[in-house]
Amino acid sequence: MNDTATPTDASECKHPPGMFAPVVNLSRCEAKGDCERVCPESVFEVRRIDETDYAPLGWLNKLKIRVHGMKVAYTPNVDACRACGLCVTACPEKAIKLVKRD
């Protein structure tokens, strides 16, 4: 199996929770919330970016995040992900990847 899951529709989801995890590229995320809306497992929360995530970003990404209200998508319920791929498809910024967990 590859280290990434192929996006599909939720009805075809065959993975038990915990095998894959969505990884959000904070340099691309614009906090539009599509991931939060489409995820059937309530994995995402769009909220204020943590200082530890904000500090290492380049100035252009910092500016972009400020324009978007200092918010990005986090995955507080990551263990519930069933790798349906809906978030990957829904994100208009292509900011989410599904990665196989160890």
Q: Is the dihedral of CA 30, 92, 58, 101 positive or negative?
A: positive
> Contact between 31 and ligand SF4 (CB under 6 A)?
no
Task: Name the segment binding ligand SF4 (CB under 6 A); options: 24-32, 53-61, 63-71, 76-84.
Answer: 76-84
Token pair listed for 87: 């978030």
Who contacts 66 (Cβ-Cβ below 8 Å, separation ≥6)? none
Task: Name the segment binding ligand SF4 (CB under 6 A); options: 25-33, 45-53, 55-63, 85-93.
Answer: 85-93
Residue of the chain from 34, 65, 85, 95 that contacts ligand SF4 (CB under 6 A): 85
Closest by alpha carbon to 94, among 5, 27, 11?
A: 27
Interface residues toward ligand SF4, by CB under 6 A: 22, 38-41, 43, 81-87, 98
